[in-house]
Structure 1
Amino acid sequence: MSTRIPSLNWLRVFEAAARTESFARAAVQLNMSAAAVSQQVKALETRLGTPLFHRHAHAVTLTEAGRAYLPSVQQSLLMLETATTGLFGETREQRLYVQSVLLFAHGVLASGLPGFQAAHPQINLSLSTGNVISDFANRFTDLQIVFGNPALFNTESDELLREHLYPVALPEIAEQIAKPQDLLKFTLIEVSTHRASWPRLFEHLRLPAGQARYFFADNSLMAAELAAHGSGVALARAPASDRIISLSGLVPCLPDIACPGQEAYHLVYPSRTSMRPAARVFRDWLMDYSAAVQTR
């Protein structure tokens, strides 16, 4: 009787194509031709009896079956890599999977990762982003960077970075806001996934929150983009939001008006004692890097 366990090489090709969302980029990483990648993915799909990718003109995206299959494939490949390293010594390349809240990835991680990669060229880092708690559930990753209560993940954690909040807008709107009460004349862009934002600032400023008019967005990057197009006043979440605030051309509405945020960014992982070497290296680097960002 023939086994349904696919070829290991097919799985490696599938994982690379899924991670890069491109047969061409996967081919470069694997030192193959794009046609060979496509052929091996097709062979895997034939073996499994279901399509794993939607094919587009210049990219591929995972089907529902492909998304469900990917974490198990990644975990299995990493288990093999770890076992091989443990028995036969260091491998030339160590793969590491990190998932981060979008704002932290954009405003903090992106600027630091070139330095990390230069210092640790043997670690092949794969970074994905999420926005709400459900994005971080049932995903195979070595490390996750989350915002809020780390106890929700039932894992060990390290606090990375706290934030402070202050209102920002286009210069022509900001100049109309001379005192805190003037904020209530404008639509306030609120990030719906945060538990403590504008109400937190209103409490600090002793303003009546019930008089505010809100426009809700689901992440801080979108909130900044809306403010950049004149939709209202957004809330900076420094230092993670510093880059998007600058890129969007937004300025503080009330100089020297800021309050500490209620929550923080945390690095979460199943167990420090069972952490793979590449993850341990990244954790140590991230702790130092986040501390440096916090003190800027």
Structure 2
Amino acid sequence: MVKYRHIPPTQFMKGFEAAARLESFSRAAEEIGLTQSAISHQMRLLEGQIGQPLFLRIGREVRLTDAGRDYHRTVRRCLEMMEEGYRRLEPYRKPGSVVIYAPRDVTRRWLLQRLPLLKTAVPACEPWLDTSGTAIDFETMEVDIAIIHAHEPPVGSESLLIANGNLSPVAAPALAQTLRDPADLLTASLIHEEGPIGWADWLADRGIAPDAVWRGSNFSDSDIALAAAELGQGVALASVFLARDALAAGNLMQPFPTTLDTGRGWFAISSPARLKDGDVRGVWDWLQTQAAGGA
């Protein structure tokens, strides 16, 4: 069976949608730029293909049949989706467009603040930030550079280490200053993030039995967990990389200097083919200047 064999020509769908909405073949023809007879002919061909009448002809006006009203909802939705798809392609047509994928927390906490520096370093670049969370495949996706959190970059990719994934307690200054010893965390309000490594691991690494660290709020988003810590709602076990700007601004403090090595890092990855583009290479070189592998 031929796939999509019941789908009429797009021009017929546009004519039908206009005629149904305006209740007039002549007004639909004027809107689309055809003659009234052309629209009328298209609608008869469309009705013949579908196998039932879509319009009731009443003098110079037309009214939808029940089947026509049902079909109009489908056609209007399909045309809107096609128009939306076209608009979404606009960034691809921009000269200098570089699609940078990064998780939301990295984009919000690190990349966003550095976009002016990127624009200064690569003036022709028009960055397009993708935070969709989709698994990256350079062969099938329009992604030029991706920032990922992993133990090591994928085999076969070009990569550079932006920062390691060390974790450290962070808190708003007023709360941080009340913490004198890591054991104080056992009675503090803690902020938990979803993930394989958490407070129990950090405390165990300090030689503290983590029997009472399950209290507190849980978050699935690192950015929001850091925001909660900035608001004084608890102590977060955060990526030092993601917390860097908040620490530099004084919104957060590290009550203890020790960090937990997670064995993971934040890597920028790309493909050799994508890096042949001058603007993509410019962004890549800029990322190298921003890398902080010891963070």
Q: The TM-score by the shorter chain falls in which range? A: 0.5 to 0.7
Q: What is aligned with 2:231?
A: 229
2:156 is equivalent to residue 176 of structure 1: no
Deviations 1:91-114 (A, max 9, x none): xx3211111123333343234332
Question: Residue 181 of structure 1: CA displacement?
Answer: 1.4
- Give distance in 2, aligned partners of 1:153 and 1:190: 32
Kindly state the Cα deviation for residue 188 of structure 1 after the two structures are TM-superposed.
1.9
Q: Does 1:287 align with 2:278?
A: no
- Which position in structure 2 is the counterpart of 1:278? 279
Q: Counterpart amino acid of 1:224?
A: L
Q: 2:218 maps to what in 1?
A: 216
Contact 1:174 1:251 in 2 (8 A): yes
Question: Which amino acid letter does the alignment assign opposite residue 164 of structure 1?
Answer: N
Which runs of 5 or more structure 1 residues have no equivalent in the other structure?
5-45, 54-64, 82-92
Q: Name the counterpart of 1:242.
A: 244
Find 1:49's aligned residue among 75, 78, 85. Answer: 78
1:111 and 1:178 mapped to 2: Cα distance? Answer: 32
Paired letter, 1:242: R
Query: How far 1:264 moved relative to its partner?
Result: 0.5
2:86 and 2:268 map into 1 onto residues whose CA distance is 23
Q: Is the 8 A contact 1:186 1:213 kept in 2?
A: no
1:239 partner SS: helix
Structure 2, unmatched stretches of 5+, are 1-7, 12-74
Q: For the residues of structure 2 that align with 1:150 and 1:245, how far apart are their CA atoms? A: 27
CA pair 71-266 structure 1, distance change in 2 beyond 3 A: farther
Aligned residues: 222
Displacement after TM superposition at 1:152 (Å): 6.6
User: Distance between the aligned counterparts of 2:188 and 2:86, measured in 1?
Assistant: 45
Matched residue SS, 1:158:
strand
Provide the C-alpha distance between the structure 2 equivalents of 1:261 and 1:74, rounded to a whole number of angstroms. 40
What TM-score, normalized by structure 1, do the two folds share? 0.61
C-alpha contact (below 8 Å) 2:109/2:223 kept by paired residues: no
- How much has 1:166 moved relative to structure 2? 1.8
Residue type of the alignment partner of 2:242: A
8 Å contact from structure 2 (residues 153, 269) kept in 1: no
Distance in 2 separating the partners of 1:169 and 1:116: 30
The 5 Å alignment of 1:59-208 reads: 66=84, 69=85, 73=89, 77=92, 93-130=95-132, 134=134, 140-149=142-151, 155-192=157-194, 194-208=195-209
Looking at structure 2, the residues matched to 95 and 102 of structure 1 have their Cα atoms a distance apart, in angstroms, of: 20
Counterpart AA for 1:190: H
- Relative distance call for 1:220 and 1:117 in structure 2 (3 A) is same
- Superposition deviation, residue 136 in structure 1: 5.3
Deviation at 1:234? 0.8
Q: What amino acid sits opposite 2:272 in the alignment?
A: R
- Report SS of the residue matched to 1:244: helix
- The correspondence of residues 8-23 of structure 1 with structure 2, limited to 5 A, is none
Contact 1:166 1:258 in 2 (8 A): yes
Alpha-carbon offset, residue 217 of structure 1: 0.8
Distance 1:169 1:160, change over 3 A: closer
Bigger strand share: 1
Deviation at 1:70, TM superposition (A): 7.2
- Cα RMSD for the two superposed structures: 3.7
Q: Structure 2 length normalisation: TM-score? A: 0.61
* Cα pair 1:236 1:242 within 8 Å, conserved: no
Equivalent pair of 1:187/1:213 in contact (CA under 8 Å): no
Q: Compute the displacement of 1:175 (Å).
A: 3.2
Is this contact kept in 1: 2:172–2:253, CA < 8 A? Answer: yes
Q: Distance in 2 between matches of 1:70 and 1:225?
A: 37
AA partner of residue 268 (structure 2) = L
Query: Aligned partners of 1:223, 1:248: CA distance in 2, in Å?
Result: 17
Q: 1:74 touches 1:140 (CA, 8 Å); kept in 2?
A: no
Contact 1:197 1:261 in 2 (8 A): no
Residues 221 and 50 of structure 1, relative CA distance in 2, 3 Å threshold: same
Q: Aligned partners of 2:88, 2:156: CA distance in 1, in Å? A: 20
Is the 8 Å Cα contact of residues 166 and 252 (structure 1) preserved in structure 2?
yes
Deviates more, 1:147-156 or 1:212-221: 147-156
For residues 49-101 of structure 1, the C-alpha deviation after alignment (integer angstroms, 9 at most, x for no partner) is 34249xxxxxxxxxxx95xx4798469x46xx8xxxxxxxxxxx321111112
Cα gap change, 1:141 to 1:179, in 2 (>3 Å)? same
Amino acid at match of 1:96: V
Does the 8 Å CA contact 1:163/1:240 hold for their aligned counterparts?
no
